[in-house]
Every structure is written in C-alpha cells, then in structure tokens.
Amino acid sequence: MAKVLQEATKMTQVQKMVKKALTGNEAAAYAMRQINPDVVAAYPITPATEIVQIYSSYVADGLVNTEFVAVESEHSAMSATVGACAAGGRAMTATSSQGLALMWEMLYIAAGLRLPIVMPVTNRALSAPINIHGDHSDTMGARDAGWIHIFSENSQEVYDNIIQAIRIAEHKDVLLPVMVTMDGFIISHAMEVVEVAPDELVSKFVGIYKPDRYLLDIDNPMTMGGLDFTDYYFEHRRSLAEPMFHAKEHILAVASEFEREFGRKYGLFEEYRMDNAEYAIVVLGSTAGTAKVAVDELREQGVKAGMIKVRIFRPFPYDEIAHAVSECRAAAVLDRSDGLAGRGGPVFGEVRSAICDMEKKPVTMNYVYGLGGRDINVEMIKSVYKDLQRAVATGERALVNYLGVRD
C-alpha cells in the first residue's frame, strides 16, 4: 500500500511539471529564482551574462528576496559571495572563462573555508587568442580547487543539476562549493523544451539553509581565514579532501530523492547502450547527445558501440567508471580541453588512472576536440569508433589524437 501511495504521489508531482522553451542560461536563472538565494553577487561575462542579467530582473521585479550585488570584477563577485556565505547566507554567482580565471584565488578560499556556494559556469575557451565559444578549458583548470563539478548535457540537466547542487553543497557532511557547467552557446544560447517544477516543490526540496556556524552568530563568535603555518596547514588541507572522498554517496542520495519528487533520474554518470558494448567512448557535456546518435547508427550496422557520459567530474567516479568499461575491448576518451604538457587531456588522465590497476584493461585512446567551440559531428565520432576497432585488430594506435583540427 505504501508503495502504491508513493507511486501515486510521484505521478502527481510529475503531472505538475510545466514545459517551457528555455535556453541553458534561462534555465539556470529560472532554477536560481526558485531557489531564491539570500545573496547573488555577479559581474557579466559572455556567454554567461544572461544568467545574472535575467536574475537581476527577478530582483528588480520583486520576484525574489535576494540582495543583488553588482561588483566591479569576477574576483570581487566570488569575494562577495564568499563573504555572504561565511556570514550565514545562501549565496550564488555565475561566470565563464576569463571570469572564472580571475576568481582563481577565491575559488580555493571558498573550498578551504567549506562554504556551500553554488555557481553555474558557462564553459568557454580561455585566451589567448581571445575566443568566446565553448570548450572545457576554464573549469578543467579549476578541477583541483576543491569544488564539486557537475556537467550538463542540455538545458534540462542545467535546471535539474542546479537544484540538486544546493542540497549537495549544503549537506552537513559535504559543505563544499559546487560548479554546474554547460557548454557555451551550444547549451547556453540554444532553446530547448525544459520541464520545470512548481516553485513550491523546488522551495520544499532545497529547504532553508541553516548553517551550524557562521560569522554573524554573535552568541558563538568564530574566526575564518586565519593564518595557518606548518603546524596545522597540512591537517586542514587533508580535512578538505575527506568530504570530497565521501561526496559521491550524498550526490546519489540527493539524486534518488530528486527522482522521487521530480521524476527524472541521475547518477554519477550515464551509460548509453553499454550492456554488451565492445567499443566505448567517454564524453562530457553536450557532445553526449551527438555521440548517442553515432552509437545508434553504429549499432544498426552491427558494431557493439556504447557511450559513457560523465556527469560528476569531481569527485571523479574512478571505481564506477572502471567497472563500466571493464568488458570493453577498447575505449576512447574525448576531451574538450588540452593537457598541453600532460599525456592527453584531463579526462583521459582520470580514466587511465581509473583502469590502471585492472588485470584486463581495454585499449585506450585520447581525442582532444572542439577547442574554441569547433563543431563535432556524428561522422567524426563514428571515426573514433573505427579507430578503436582498428587498434584492437592491428595493435596500432596513436595514444593522443586531435580530432577535427587542420594540419
């Protein structure tokens, strides 16, 4: 009987969903409005400008109770967000590319102070040369700053991930800042149908932020940002790693509750036609949609192709990814950023690390692609699968490849 009532409640909630035509930036701003944070501090930067521009109109129209702080730079935006969160408020901001890079110092401080800030990031290439289009070089540069990283395939995932990110960040055993990313222009400016929940459902799901300790608690005074010499710094940094190690279980718990309330299922990553896959690719972001088409076409031709879309990049799901590819003969990792002096892109390094201790390993190859927003199409992705088949058949392969670049 309880199960029947649970399913009936779930159906009722799903029926309350409303379909709207939204871009990724609009979906992010819409989710932020429903979350209704205490403070939003922001400085505009293409292609993330619309997020805070739209949100500022919500503030001006009295649709939220947020204190909107228009600052003079992205460094100041994160500084103000850190201050607001440390003072006990639920605080958010948004940025992209050079803006994220200008926040660098404060990213580490936000994580080191265990502040549950949530920040949508519209992925964009870093200069030089100047480029305003989408690749992952900005957030990949911040991958070890202590933030949880959630990647989105489309506008629906942007909306859903931001709502879940609040609960993840504010969990008492996590208390880490979270970036929710979307590919610049490909998602941020492309309009899609997005199912949005009623305001009251989102408000109930995220709840009220009640920090245990905060600077404006005059009855329990505390210090933040104290000087840490050799006697304690190491221990404090080690304590920052601990919640990241255990964040996966809380991310999955929030996803499970989100599915019950909103009807959409999420995990650490998504497996697409991986049940009997012999050849797989690992991707992040919007490229997953294109890859699914390539996989379907190859399956029709008899190729046992599959795909893994990484949703949670930090903390990286090492064991889970290793298990997912354990039966594959070969796997390719597609990186929308370049490690330059490293061996391939950053995602490739993580995947190779995940499988390095496996007795039976798939052949692995790396493909750097799409830098500066360059398009990737179905035929290009199908060519990767052909390379994997050839590598298995002949033993010949190039470990690191540049897909779609002119010689």
SS (H, E, C) 111-170: HHCCCCCEEEEEECCCCCCCCCCCCCHHHHHCCCCCCEEEECCCHHHHHHHHHHHHHHHH
3-state DSSP call for residue 73?
coil
If you search the block for the tokens 């390095």, which residue do you land on? 356
Going by C-alpha positions, the residue among 357, 386, 136, 385 that lies closest to residue 281 is 385
Going by C-alpha positions, the residue among 17, 74, 386 that lies closest to residue 197 is 17
- Give the pLDDT of residue 226: 86
> Does residue 23 carry a pLDDT above 60?
yes
Residue 103 phi, psi dihedral angles, 5° rounding: -80, -5
Count the Cβ atoms, other than its own, within 10 Å of residue 7: 11
321 within 8 A of 354, measured Cβ to Cβ: yes
Question: How does residue 278 score in pLDDT terms, banded at 50, 70 and 90?
Answer: very high
Tokens matching residue 154:
């489309």
- Give the pLDDT of residue 341: 85
- Give the pLDDT of residue 332: 98
Average pLDDT over residues 260-280: 98
Going by C-alpha positions, the residue among 264, 247, 20 that lies closest to residue 149 is 247
- Give the pLDDT of residue 4: 57
- On the 0-12 / 13-18 / 19+ scale of CB atoms within 10 A, 375 is exposed
> Does residue 8 carry a pLDDT above 60?
no
State percent of the chain over pLDDT 90. 94
- Mind listing the pLDDT tens digit for each residue in 92-148? 999 999 999 999 999 999 999 999 999 999 999 999 999 999 999 999 999 999 999
Question: How does residue 225 score in pLDDT terms, banded at 50, 70 and 90?
Answer: confident
> Chain-wide mean pLDDT for the chain?
96
Q: DSSP letters of 310-360? A: ESEEES--HHHHHHHHTT-SEEEEEESS--TTSSS-HHHHHHHHHHTT-SS
> What are the residue boundaries of the structural domains of the chain, listed by start?
20-195+233-262, 269-403
> Does residue 267 carry a pLDDT above 80?
yes
3-state DSSP call for residue 67?
strand
CA atoms of 388 and 135, how far apart (whole Å): 24
> Does residue 377 carry a pLDDT above 70?
yes
Q: In what order do the strands lie in the sheet with 305-310?
A: 269-272, 305-310, 279-284, 330-335, 363-369, 400-403
CA-to-CA dists, residue 101 to 43, 140, 174, 337, angstroms? 13, 11, 24, 15
Sorted by sequence, the CB contacts under 8 Å of residue 389 that are 6+ apart come out as: 279, 303, 330
* Strand (E) or helix (H) holding 384: helix 378-394
CATH superfamily of 20-195+233-262: Thiamin diphosphate (ThDP)-binding fold, Pyr/PP domains (3.40.50.970)
CA atoms of 44 and 24, how far apart (whole Å): 16
Two domains, one topology: 20-195+233-262 and 269-403: yes
Question: How does residue 35 score in pLDDT terms, banded at 50, 70 and 90?
Answer: very high
The DSSP bridge partners found for residue 281 are 307, 332
CATH number of 269-403, picked from 3.40.50.920, 3.30.70.1050, 3.20.20.70, 1.10.10.10: 3.40.50.920
> Does residue 152 carry a pLDDT above 70?
yes
Check residue 373 and report its DSSP letter.
Answer: G
CA-to-CA dists, residue 343 to 193, 346, 353, 396, angstroms? 39, 9, 12, 18
> Does residue 165 carry a pLDDT above 90?
yes
- Mind listing the pLDDT tens digit for each residue in 178-224? 999 999 999 999 999 999 999 999 999 999 999 999 999 999 999 88
Tokens matching residue 164:
């879940």
CA atoms of 184 and 171, how far apart (whole Å): 29
**pTM greater than the 0.85 cutoff:** yes
- Give the pLDDT of residue 347: 98
3-state DSSP call for residue 402?
strand
Distance of CA 335 to the CA centre of its chain: 15
- Mind listing the pLDDT tens digit for each residue in 64-85? 999 999 999 999 999 999 999 9
Report the C-alpha dihedral over residues 150, 151, 153, 156, rounded to 10 degrees. 30
